[in-house]
Amino acid sequence: MRVLICAAMLVMVLAPAILPSAWGALGQSSTTVEDDRAKLHGVHQRRGGISYSIDTITVAGLEINEYVSSDGMVFAVVWKGTGVPDLKLLLGEYFEAYREEVAAARSRKPRVREPFRMKSDRLIVERVGHSRSLWGRAYLPSQLPPGIRPEDIQ
């Protein structure tokens, strides 16, 4: 099992080169998720709901939850664990907007040390935590299915 998990993470690390349509990326169709997950050999489970489902992958001290709407789109991702997953993979086309916001927060003078948050009509990303336990989430506020509130995305 450990070998499989390591192989899975290796695929995740290499994925930008070999999987242009990133694994389970925010805003993308979930139709590729199962293919990609098969390649990842991650330990995963699905919890179903009426208007959305949650796919969970646990690997190497990380738990990644993908929220998928009933029409098959990933509208939120949540990660927690000792490290941070490759957000380029998880955020997909939204990664650059996130990266720009991180750079802006970092160039703020004087620098403020606060939990990271970017908030726009299009994308919300938050990060918090401490050594051993980091937590973050990204979601598309205009794409939340009926019945789910931001505080439900944990």
Partner 1 sequence: MKRMRVVVAFLCLLAGCGGGGDDGGGFTSSAGSIPISVGTSSVCVTINELCASVTVCQPGTSNCQTISDVLVDVGSVGLRVFGSRLSVPLTQTVDAQGRAIGECTFFADGSTSWGPVQIADVVLGDAPAVRVPMQVITPTFGGQSVSSNPCNDTVDSDPDAASLNGILGIGLFRQDCGSVCAVNSNNTLYFSCQAASCAGAVVSVVDQVQNPVWLLPSGNNGVVITLPNVPESGAPSVTGSLILGIDPAASTTPPSAVLPTNANGFVTTVYKGRTFAQSIIDSGSNALFFPDASLAGCPMPLDPFYCPPNALHLSATISGTGGGQAVVPFQVANTQLLVDTQNSAYNNLGGDFSTFDWGLPFFLGRTVFVGIEGQSSSLGTGPFFAF
Binding site for partner 1 (CB under 8 A): 2, 5-6, 9-10, 12-13, 59-62, 81-88, 99, 102-103, 105-108, 110-117, 119, 126-135, 150-151
Residue with smaller CB distance to partner 1, 97 or 102:
102
Work out the burial of residue 24: count CB atoms within 10 Å of its CB; fewer than 13 is exposed, 13-18 middle, 19 or more buried.
buried
Rounded to whole angstroms, how far apart are CA atoms 7 and 108?
Answer: 39
Nearer to partner 1, 15 or 68 (CB): 15
Place of tokens 């993308």: 28
Three-state DSSP class for 27?
A: coil
**Residue whose CB is less far from partner 1, 48 or 111:** 111
Helix (H, G, I), strand (E, B) or coil at 119: strand
Q: Which is nearer to partner 1, 33 or 90 (CB)?
A: 90
Cα torsion through 39, 42, 43, 45, rounded to 10: -70
Longest dimension (CA), the chain: 47
Q: Which of 91, 71, 54 is nearest to 143 (CA)?
A: 71
CB of 153 to partner 1, least distance (A): 9
The CB-of-33 to partner 1 minimum distance in angstroms stands at 20
Q: How far is the CB of 79 from partner 1 (least distance, A)?
A: 10
Cβ closer to partner 1: 50 or 128?
128
3-state helix, strand, coil in the chain (%, to 5): 35, 30, 30
Least distance CB 130 / partner 1 (angstroms): 4
Considering the complex, what minimum distance in angstroms separates the CB of residue 115 from partner 1?
Answer: 5
